Amino acid sequence: MTAPWPQIPFEAWHETRAALHLYAQIVGKYRLARTPWVNHSWHATFYVTARGLTTSLVPDAAGIEIVFDLHRHAVVGESADGRRAEFPLAPMSVADFHARFHDLIERLGGTPEFDGRPNELPDPVPFAQDRRPRPYDANAVARFFQALVAIASVFCRFRTGYLGKVSPVHLFWGSFDLAVTRFSGRPAPRHPGGIPSLPDDVTREAYSHEVSSAGFWPGDARTKFPAFYSYAYPTPQGFADAPAAPAGAYFDRELGEFLLPYDIVQASADPEATLVAFLDGAYRAAADRGRWDRAALECPIGAPRRPRPVTAS
């Protein structure tokens, strides 16, 4: 699939991005409150679809799905018993969004009871008390969605080149990043925790096993540009000194991650190949220095209608 790689400059839409992030947290916390726990918090994430972002079916009432429809710029809720409700994404406060979302869930027969504070943000303000007006730049959101579609396609193919445990390609609303994670199969040391506004037991369960994780996020107050990242937990010795690829990628020692600015990928002659070079290189740095059993864990990238060959044991 060939998808467009639009420009998504941070400064042009950072206030809308911050608002969309908080709106996603509200919807994500509803899903989290109604869905049985799955390892590494995979039960709480969103998925990229042809329309935008979806919760998939939440086990509440008859079954409820919430979609951020980023074509029509609306939050759409549908129930398995045929009910439907929506409200527009437009300039509003976080408190307004919170109230409208509560009403939407009630109209679908669901239970709008969930934690009312943001996660993974410094100095969080409860949703219902955040009354500051927020903008909504529909054109910028549409470009962000186009970028997610292009990126998810590459992540999905990258995911297929692995026989070990690997996550879905999913969006974590806490940090607002699209991610895919490979596991070595070995337990990890106890994580120290300390992520702002996130319980340490959630962090420790998420990092219970060794990982090489890659993803994309649209920028934040510290990293004021959209970027791809890749990190390992635990961080193997020498990881930070591994060569960064492609040109423009580097290791951020404060974050402890390899970074590749989105703009380098977007402007390259072959964005998909440029991104794959980053994903492959950072993964190999983690796997080689962490002494993963690469021969047992890796396989060729999957292809449509072609079963993966199985070797005799």
**Residue 61 burial by Cβ neighbours in a 10 Å radius (0-12, 13-18, 19+):** middle
| Domain coordinates in residue numbering, the chain | 10-129, 138-297
pLDDT score of 309: 81
Indicate the pLDDT class of residue 313, thresholds 50, 70 and 90. Answer: low
Indicate the pLDDT class of residue 148, thresholds 50, 70 and 90. Answer: very high
Residues 101-128: pLDDT tens digits?
A: 999 999 999 999 999 999 999 889 999 9
pTM over 0.85: yes
Q: Over 70: is that where the pLDDT of 147 sits?
A: yes
**Residue 259 burial by Cβ neighbours in a 10 Å radius (0-12, 13-18, 19+):** buried
Q: Over 60: is that where the pLDDT of 94 sits?
A: yes
Query: If you ran DSSP here, which 8-state letter would residue 121 be given?
Result: S
- Residues 141 and 278 sit within 8 Å (Cβ to Cβ): no
Q: Over 80: is that where the pLDDT of 311 sits?
A: no
Task: Specify the long-range contacts of residues 121-126, CB closer than 8 Å, at least 24 apart.
Answer: 121/196, 121/197, 122/196, 122/197, 124/196, 124/197, 125/94
Read off φ and ψ for residue 211, nearest 5 degrees.
-140, 155
Residues 190-201: pLDDT tens digits?
A: 999 999 889 999
Q: Residue 213 belongs to what H/E stretch?
A: strand 209-217
pLDDT score of 298: 96
pLDDT score of 3: 67
**Residue 124 burial by Cβ neighbours in a 10 Å radius (0-12, 13-18, 19+):** middle
Q: Over 70: is that where the pLDDT of 312 sits?
A: no
Sheet (strand 47-48) strand order: 47-48, 52-58, 64-69, 74-79, 84-88
- Give the sign of the dihedral formed by CA 134, CA 48, CA 225, CA 257: positive
For Cα atoms 230, 52, 283, give the angle at the middle one, nearest 5 degrees.
15
Least Cα distance to 119 among 203, 10, 54 occurs for 203
Residues 212-253: pLDDT tens digits?
A: 999 999 999 889 999 999 999 999 999 999 999 999 999 999
pLDDT score of 153: 97
Q: Over 90: is that where the pLDDT of 176 sits?
A: yes
Cross-strand pairs, 230: 214, 258
